[in-house]
């Protein structure tokens, strides 16, 4: 593919033509007394081009604000596209955006927002008077140029440019490509000593100089985009949503075009098998956790090419010592509880740290206090009537993969961590853990029988059927935050009870790269964008996903951006019981390192059916089913 050079800006009206056409509008020379020597020539040229707002013509060494940078950006775009800022405001219908931010209705800010150049900082705020940092400015310039129709280089090239700096570890994940873009194209440079200083303030004169440079320099642009396919399943609405996301990517990355390929979920595995046999797999696609390693085992999954920050190790899928994929996000198990029911019982809320986690006996005792019969007796009372329970202390979603957390907590597991072929779920530690779960119903009467309670966690809490439940963190965004917002539910989150070791399991579905793509770097760039925190902001901010990158857990500012809002439980509870606990006590679900889970889990569900009814002990059932488990995983 031959590369062609194109000007970074097609200037249809030159300054001389402007003067001829409008002789009465002679531009005044800018006041340069406050400008640094190096900046004066560029400021003069930029002002002459007409895209420098009057509000920043002066005091040039002052740090530029978010509002000022937004106005400079959209004025430059009007100049670059041979139109006017007022026409752009009409084209983007900014009048419909009034009220988007609680702290500004600036037309310039709303235009920059509508164009996808800048965003708010959370809680409906834009913070117009906050100062722009160097990494923010680099990112916004890149976005502005993409809106203007310019094609950046590949992510591999841009990340390589960013990685040259000694302080590159300080770059925000979302800013790395913008910094690489600015440096690679000589739009911005470092500050000396091989440093970029990503958090440093950005002066007015620097911003003006940058937009002057991109009005005169040139970029090498690929002649044709790399076309790749992304295979997924979903209903009609999900297909629309995924297609919209892919269109968003295509607009921001003109050198790549991702084409959606939707398949019925019931036919997904068979379709993949057929395509693999024909050597015609898609370039990329979504896979559920339980089937991924079986495909990696067949050599049909490419090892991920990491661009930017490496995802957390806990969501790595590992086969024969090599990482073959990472989950697209993090989800993990946690304990949720109805605070009103605890208050009514006069007992303390569940612990939020591993060090203070309830022991199993403590947990059972609390569950008994919260389990109440129709006469008002709790499960501790000798008059407690198990046949007329109106409120249970606890419930566990009937998903057998979740039982692994309890097996691990009791010192066991599903499989031997040193040899995945060795099934250990029937060993005493795991069997005892599963029996304890069954006994919550069979012996203690504090939980409905496994699988017998209809509805979802929000209805259990709202109807006061259940006081506590263990479920995935997706419960926050799928059910609980709306129950809190619209139905007045008061709830929070805690660490799971401990049977000996305080632990949770982490996992999530996977966007993978299949073997045989003609454009592996383009696929890697797409998947890095597709799984980035910013690209999935709605899912993360709403509480359905946790970010896949550790910086979003450890950086206070980043953490608060996604977790400190009304969509999540109280922030300090969530930080301790979910975020911190995830970093210190989460382990990978076994399907991250054991193949055949798609066959093992149904076999486990069948084996445990008589355990939940009390017809068979967990130990006997698991001993009898172990050969079937071994066959299921292909051991």
Q: In this structure, are 171 and 285 located in the same domain?
A: no
**Residues 539-566: b if buried by 16+ CB within 10 A, e if exposed:** bbbbbbbbbbbbbbbeeeebbebbbbbe
Q: In this structure, are 208 and 70 located in the same domain?
A: yes
**Residues 348-384: b if buried by 16+ CB within 10 A, e if exposed:** eebbbebeebbebeebbbbbbbbbbbeeebbbeeeeb
CB atoms within 10 A of CB 74: 28
Q: Which pLDDT band, with edges at 50, 70 and 90, does 9 fall under? A: very low
Burial status of residue 568 (CB atoms within 10 A of its CB: 0-12, 13-18, 19 or more): buried
Asked if the structure places residue 127 within a domain, the reply is yes
Asked if the structure places residue 302 within a domain, the reply is yes
Tokens for 176, please give them.
């790395």
d(CA 219, CA 208) in angstroms, rounded, equals: 19
Domain count of the fold of the chain? 3
Q: In this structure, are 179 and 128 located in the same domain?
A: yes
Burial status of residue 48 (CB atoms within 10 A of its CB: 0-12, 13-18, 19 or more): middle
| 75 has pLDDT over 90 | yes
Asked if the structure places residue 211 within a domain, the reply is yes
Could you tell me what percentage of the chain is helix, strand and coil, using 3-state DSSP and rounding each to the nearest 5? Answer: 45, 15, 40
Tokens for 401, please give them.
């993969």
Asked if the structure places residue 594 within a domain, the reply is no
Q: In this structure, are 458 and 556 located in the same domain?
A: no
Q: In this structure, are 503 and 554 located in the same domain?
A: no
Q: What is the CATH number of the domain that holds 501?
A: 3.40.190.10
263: left (phi over 0), alpha (psi -120 to 50) or beta: beta
Q: In this structure, are 217 and 270 located in the same domain?
A: no
Asked if the structure places residue 593 within a domain, the reply is no
pLDDT tens string 256-297: 899 999 888 788 888 888 998 888 999 999 888 988 998 898
Q: Which pLDDT band, with edges at 50, 70 and 90, does 442 fall under? A: very high
pLDDT tens string 448-477: 999 899 999 999 999 999 999 999 999 999
Q: The whole model's pTM is what?
A: 0.69
Collapsing DSSP to helix, strand or coil, 344 comes out as helix
Q: In this structure, are 48 and 29 located in the same domain?
A: yes
Asked if the structure places residue 596 within a domain, the reply is no
Q: In this structure, are 303 and 371 located in the same domain?
A: no
Q: In this structure, are 379 and 456 located in the same domain?
A: yes
Asked if the structure places residue 598 within a domain, the reply is no
| 25 has pLDDT over 60 | no
Q: In this structure, are 214 and 307 located in the same domain?
A: no
| 329 has pLDDT over 50 | yes
Q: In this structure, are 298 and 338 located in the same domain?
A: no
pLDDT tens string 553-607: 999 999 999 999 999 999 999 999 999 999 999 999 999 999 999 999 999 999 9
Length of the chain: 635
Pairing of strands 510-513, 491-494: unpaired
Q: In this structure, are 443 and 470 located in the same domain?
A: yes
Domain extent, residue 613, equals 332-507+606-633
**pLDDT score at 252:** 77
Contact 390, 373 (CB under 8 A): yes
Asked if the structure places residue 91 within a domain, the reply is yes
Query: What's the rounded mean pLDDT across residues 97-115?
Result: 92
């Amino acid at each position: 593919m031959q590369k062609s050079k194109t000007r970074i800006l097609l200037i249809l009206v030159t300054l001389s033509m402007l003067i001829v056409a409008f002789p009465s509008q002679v531009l005044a020379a800018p006041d340069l007394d406050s400008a640094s020597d190096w900046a004066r020539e560029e400021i003069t040229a930029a002002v002459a081009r007409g895209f420098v707002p009057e509000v920043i013509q002066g005091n040039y060494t002052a740090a530029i604000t978010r509002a000022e940078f937004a106005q400079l950006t959209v004025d430059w775009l009007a100049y670059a596209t041979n139109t006017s800022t007022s026409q752009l405001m009409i084209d983007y219908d900014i009048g419909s955006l009034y009220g988007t931010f609680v702290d500004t209705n600036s037309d310039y800010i709303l235009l920059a927002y509508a164009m996808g150049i800048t965003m708010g900082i959370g809680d409906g705020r834009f913070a117009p008077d906050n100062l722009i940092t160097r990494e923010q400015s680099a990112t916004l310039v890149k976005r502005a140029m993409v809106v203007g129709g310019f094609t950046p280089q590949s992510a591999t090239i841009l990340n390589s440019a960013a990685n040259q700096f000694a302080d590159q570890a300080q770059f925000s994940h979302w800013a790395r490509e913008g910094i690489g873009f600015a440096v690679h194209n000589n739009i911005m440079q470092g500050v000396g000593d091989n440093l970029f200083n990503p958090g440093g303030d950005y002066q007015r004169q620097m911003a003006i100089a940058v937009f002057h440079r991109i009005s005169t320099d040139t970029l090498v642009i690929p002649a044709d985009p790399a076309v790749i396919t992304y295979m997924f399943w979903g209903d009609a609405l999900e297909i629309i949503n995924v297609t919209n996301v892919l269109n968003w990517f295509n607009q921001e990355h003109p050198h790549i075009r991702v084409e959606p390929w939707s398949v019925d979920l019931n036919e997904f595995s068979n379709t993949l098998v057929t395509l693999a046999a024909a050597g015609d797999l898609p370039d990329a696609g979504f896979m559920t956790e339980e089937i991924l390693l079986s495909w990696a085992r067949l050599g049909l999954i490419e090892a991920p090419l990491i661009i930017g920050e490496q995802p957390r190790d806990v969501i790595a899928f590992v086969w024969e010592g090599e990482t073959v994929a990472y989950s697209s996000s993090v989800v993990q198990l946690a304990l949720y509880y109805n605070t009103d029911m605890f208050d009514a019982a006069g007992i303390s809320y569940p612990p939020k740290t591993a060090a203070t986690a309830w022991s199993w006996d403590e947990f059972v005792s609390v569950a008994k206090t919260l389990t109440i019969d129709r006469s008002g007796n709790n499960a501790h009372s000798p008059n407690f009537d198990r046949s007329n329970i109106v409120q249970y202390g606890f419930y566990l979603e009937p998903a057998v993969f979740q039982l692994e957390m309890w097996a691990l907590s009791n010192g066991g597991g599903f499989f031997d961590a040193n040899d995945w072929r060795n099934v250990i779920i029937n060993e005493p530690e795991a069997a005892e853990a599963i029996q304890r779960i069954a006994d919550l119903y069979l012996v203690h009467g504090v939980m409905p029988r496994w699988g017998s309670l209809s509805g979802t966690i929000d209805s259990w809490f709202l109807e006061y059927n259940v006081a506590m439940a263990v479920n995935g963190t997706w419960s926050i965004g799928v059910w609980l935050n709306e129950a809190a917002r619209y139905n007045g539910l008061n709830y929070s989150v805690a660490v799971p009870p401990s049977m000996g070791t305080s632990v949770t399991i982490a996992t999530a579905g996977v966007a993978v790269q299949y073997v045989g793509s003609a454009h592996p770097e383009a696929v890697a760039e797409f998947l890095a964008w597709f799984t980035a925190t910013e690209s999935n902001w709605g899912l993360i901010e709403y509480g359905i996903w946790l970010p896949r990158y550790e910086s979003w857990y450890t950086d206070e500012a980043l953490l608060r951006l996604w977790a400190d809002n009304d969509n999540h439980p109280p922030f300090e509870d969530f930080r301790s019981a979910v975020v911190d606990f995830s970093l210190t006590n989460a382990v990978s679900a076994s399907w991250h390192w054991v193949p055949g889970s798609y066959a093992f889990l149904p076999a486990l569900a069948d084996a445990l059916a008589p355990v939940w009814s009390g017809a068979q002990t967990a130990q006997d059932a698991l001993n009898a089913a172990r050969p079937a488990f071994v066959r299921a995983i292909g051991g």
